[in-house]
Amino acid sequence: MGRKSQCGRFTKAYRFMAVERMKRGEDVSALSRELGVSRQTLYTWRDQAEGAEVTPKPNVSQEAELRQQIARLKRLLAEKTLEVDFFKGAFEKVEARRRNSSDSGGTASGSTSAK
């Protein structure tokens, strides 16, 4: 049974054999050393054999795009935080003016009290 195909990848039969040995309970670290592949590779082969979705690593352009998106979202969050702080300050000033006008003996809206 050949280990690698002509394109340099491990053959399906070789990967199947490795996965079967894992299923039988062989020590994955020892199997990894014996076969000359990483433990992660063995687990990836197992997941592929079981039909599990293997998440590919994002390529460089995807990573750059995600970094740009994160930077844009951070800027938007900072802007919204500034807006909230502005409106909180404005609300506090309005409340303070309202309290001052009612505490200073100003006339209350509504009916007059003397007669």
Q: Give phi and psi for 106, each to the nearest 5.
A: -65, 160
Residue 56's H or E segment, with its range, is none
Question: Residue 52: what pLDDT?
Answer: 63
Query: pLDDT, tens digit, for every residue of 45-88?
Result: 998 888 865 556 667 788 888 888 999 999 999 999 999 999 99
pLDDT of 111 strictly over 60 = no
| C-alpha distance from residue 93 to each of 88, 100, 104 (Å) | 9, 10, 16
Q: Give phi and psi for 10, each to the nearest 5.
A: -70, 140
Four-CA torsion 26, 30, 33, 37, nearest 10 degrees: 40
Is the pTM of the predicted complex or chain greater than 0.75? no
Question: Residue 51: what pLDDT?
Answer: 81
pLDDT of 97 strictly over 90 = yes
Residue with tokens 């970094």: 67
